[in-house]
Structure 1
């Protein structure tokens, strides 16, 4: 491997995590965990999206992982961006992304954030209640209102309907009538079936509802030309993604055959989950024995936890999978194991009921698929450092 510009290391064929770790001699001498980021994984995911969802433009959900390197790669590939705050908009605009490639997809925005969007001509934004419509009327009347309705999957990692989205039947029409009375412009509608959606049919159900909202908007004289089908796409299961794509394509062709309608989605974990492997070091160990003195459980204490990268366990309900880096050719007996984070909080538990070899202080443990809802949420709680990141890309 050879180092390239912008602190990116280039590799041939396939990124070998074990080899990367072996080359990082300093890992044994530093306290912080390490993110290994494969930027080419993001590019491969983008190409997969274009292949299976050619009609739908991906607007990357910046909140999922706001690492500027990730955002830069997606910007260069031509993705749009789903931003939830002024700072996310600022990050994206700073990479010379046109404002038309941004949707301000937070239905409840602070006034200062609306004013920033207005100053930078970021016109597309979601809305789901009358108070926000009045706010837009006062602070950004030139914006394009995209009415967000509720249409949740029956099974999702992170349901969102309790917080966002109006009732598609009772409220969406009333909001459009109010916007019409205030001389505001409604251009489309949006939904989100829930982050990490497992009920694939939820997309078709929501797209049908969107079509009805489009019809009502057209009756009011609006030029309805924008549909946002939200997120929920898996980040580490390409087979599942292809099944979702098939359902979405069929539904879109049935209900929105007119190519004049711009259709976007808000994938987050889809692009970044598989791009990151988190490497942690065991800094302490404890053996728990039963009354007879027999070894029951081995506890390991790592240099990252649920207040750092593993916040995804709390926020995103993620189940993490540890991998050790002992000699692959040897067979090691496994023991019941439990993994803790480094803080003094007893809630800082990463994983339990595991089967791992008898590891030692200083050994490394890797966790694949750690790119979603980790980097932007990690904090230095209790004074422990957040992980640094090494970037890699295929030649």
Structure 2
């Protein structure tokens, strides 16, 4: 492929040093500057795509733009030939501006603003999801030529961190009603989609959802629709640091899902796609933050959650707690900490044999909800010290707000030259 001018901002090196060394180099280079910054390793994304093709040879990845939409990321994914899952007009526009053909986009938001739907029609983005009658009526009015994918809500007892079924998807037992509405409106339903939930903790969730999709698929076929697409959604792990709640890996999900696909969707008559987001980008980014304030308090002085009194738990041992305020938080790249405490693990530059202390890390804003991690063991740190967090590529940059007008993290991008040249021929 042809090199693109925008990626001249990507530093290409023969071999990347450990990320701790890269961070220290940036700290040394910028001297007195103390703003938080991120290092994005695009080579990690290239490696992830290699693994995807090995584990899912039948499945086309439609990258979920909402997960991380910074330009170097979506551009290199586009240049590797990926397709895209978009949720809004702006996301569609971003991907089209990269020169991606509209056929490589699925408008995978079951609730579409009419003006956004009109934009999709104007641009020829015809593949899209739905899960209710009202959405079908809207599509009939605005874009009757659309190619529709019925999103179901898989019924399962398997564990996931965040269930999506309360908001998205149609119960499998109600799908025949929606097929009837689509047939009455003369709309073109071509497939079924599902999402097992964000942070899948058991591989069986994919197997069960694929089986239920087959049943819905057959209902559509029996009602005369040309069903030829299955979308298995997202929920694939992407962190290098394993989640303490589960030991499942991406490759294990691949083995289970492929077995079910071979059983329920054998052959090549059905096109199979997926909507991975964090799988591709989570481990590609590390964020370095500066400690802007250190505060030591005693356990008994801390107001506990859901309490109006300090130290109201008589079983609590009165020990000092080191509170560290850093210069990025939940209104910056750490939004996931608001809904998933302890989802990131802090690293530091201190000796590993240093004594560890009970610590809490806060974000910089004037909001007591701006909590990064509570009750974590760290060595004694000081104002001005740097710490860093790995696996920060998913749902970090797109969620940055302007609250308190705190500065946005600076971004630096790097890639090993050999990996870069797999995508961009010299």
Structure-1-length-normalised TM-score: 0.94
- Aligned ranges 1:237-276 → 2 under 5 Å: 240-276=249-285
Q: Once the two structures are superposed, what CA deviation does each residue of 1:294-326 show, in whole Å capped at 9, x if it has no partner?
A: 861111110001111110112456611000023
CA RMSD, aligned part only?
1.9
The structure 2 residue matched to 1:331, chosen from 330, 353, 367, is 353
CA distance in 2, matches of 1:218, 1:5: 46
2-structure distance, mates of 1:28, 1:193: 46
**Aligned in 2, Cα 1:99/1:315: closer, same or farther, shift over 3 Å?**
farther
Q: What SS does structure 2 have at the residue aligned with 1:257?
A: coil
Q: Is the 8 A contact 1:298 1:337 kept in 2?
A: yes
Contact map agreement 2:234 2:276 (CA 8 A) in 1 = yes
Partner of 2:12: 10
- Of 177, 181, 193, 1:178 maps to 181
Question: Against the structure 1 CA distance between its residues 318 and 164, is the aligned structure 2 distance closer, same or farther, given a 3 Å change threshold?
Answer: farther
The equivalences for 1:125-274 within 5 A come to 125-151=128-154, 154-169=158-173, 171-236=174-239, 240-274=249-283
Q: Is the 8 A contact 1:152 1:192 kept in 2?
A: no
Aligned position for 1:311: 335
The 8 Å contact of residues 83 and 105 in structure 1, kept in 2 or not, is answered as yes
**Partner SS for 2:272:** strand
Distance 2:118 2:177 in 1: 26
SS in 1 for 2:397: coil
CA, structure 1 residues 67+316, in 2 after alignment: closer, same or farther (shift >3 Å)? farther
My pick for the range that moved more, 149-158 or 244-253, is: 149-158
> 2:356 & 2:24 partners in 1: Cα distance?
23
Identify the residue that residue 420 of structure 2 maps to in structure 1: none
Q: Quick one: distance in 2 between partners of 1:307 and 1:209?
A: 38
Q: How many residues align?
A: 388
Which residue among 63, 66, 71 is the counterpart of 1:63?
Answer: 66
Contact 2:338 2:372 (8 Å CA) reproduced: no
Q: Which runs of 5+ in 2 are unaligned?
A: 1-5, 243-247, 301-317, 418-426
> Aligned partners of 2:65 and 2:340: how far apart in 1?
15
Aligned to 1:286: 295
Q: Which residue of 1 aligns with 2:344?
A: 320
| Cα distance per residue 1:167-190 (max 9 Å; x no partner) | 112x21111111111111000010
Q: Does 1:388 align with 2:410?
A: yes
2:16·2:415 contact (CA, 8 Å) conserved in 1?
A: no
| 1:5 Cα deviation from its structure 2 partner | 5.5
Q: Is contact 1:299–1:339 with CA below 8 Å preserved after alignment?
A: yes
Unmatched tracts of structure 1, length 5 or more: none
